[in-house]
Amino acid sequence: MSARRLALVAALVLVAGPAHADRMALWNIVHGACVPAQEKGEAMPPPCLEVAGATAVIKDRNGVAQLLAIPTARVTGIEDAAILKPDTPNYFAAGWAQRGLMRRYLPAAPEREGLVVSINSAYSRSQDQLHLHVDCLRADVKAALVGYAPHLDGQWRPMTEPLAGRKYWARRVDSPDLAGVDPFRLLADEMPDRGDMAHWTLAAVPLTFDGKPGFALLADRAELTAGGHAEDVADHDCGIVR
């Protein structure tokens, strides 16, 4: 077995173990396996699925079809100042663009409004390499957001209805694919009294506004003892299509 394959196996074992085992396991997989395979034109070794531009996509060990979209550059997480630089890729848009890879693991392709792209806060993650969760949306969250859509506009406002037990801040985005719209920057630039980005968790959920495809952005301040993880609006079992 090659040294690269051995390193990949070791990284996978560490990801599967306790959160404190190796907080750089995802970076090791991307940098040590996915990117080298792409550069050499080789088949992607599991769990690598694709390297597209500045983003690698792997199959998460948790969930039926959950993907992780991970920068190929070293980016710690939502708190990393690099994500707000003008030349930084739009990682939310990149994650959304790779959602089609989920079809490999599902009996039917999820409809657009049955998906979510999310990132957890610095205080509720097990890895110190930025990674976006691309997954199915909880059916109850979808129903709640479809009903709430008329109340959303282009400003962050606290929702009056809970989603997965939390009341998120939400705003509307009129873009079919998040191109030209970076949720990280909208959170950093427009959220009232946002404070430290490390405390925030963020999700992009596709919705339809006035007959046109868009997104609802959801943000919440994570609490160490009371939760607040945008990943909670996802359904790792993909019941929405199963």
Q: Is residue 205 part of a domain?
A: yes
pTM for this entry: 0.91
84 is a domain residue: yes
Whether 39 is in a domain gets the answer no
Q: In what order do the strands lie in the sheet with 67-71?
A: 48-52, 55-59, 67-71, 132-136, 115-119, 200-209, 212-221, 169-173, 157-158
CATH number at residue 58: 3.30.428.30
Domain that holds residue 145: 53-233
Q: What is the pLDDT of residue 6?
A: 41
Is 191 within a domain?
Answer: yes
Two tokens at 129? Answer: 């390499």
- Has residue 242 been placed in a domain? no
Counting the structural domains of the chain, the total is 1
Question: In this structure, is residue 202 part of a structural domain?
Answer: yes
In a domain, 224, yes or no: yes
- Written as tens digits, the pLDDT of the chain (242 aa) is 354 554 454 445 444 444 456 999 999 999 999 999 999 999 999 999 999 999 999 999 999 999 999 999 999 999 999 999 999 999 999 999 999 999 999 998 889 999 999 999 998 888 999 999 999 999 999 999 999 999 999 999 999 999 999 999 999 999 999 999 999 999 999 999 899 999 999 999 999 999 999 999 999 998 766 666 899 999 999 998 87
Q: Is residue 241 part of a domain?
A: no
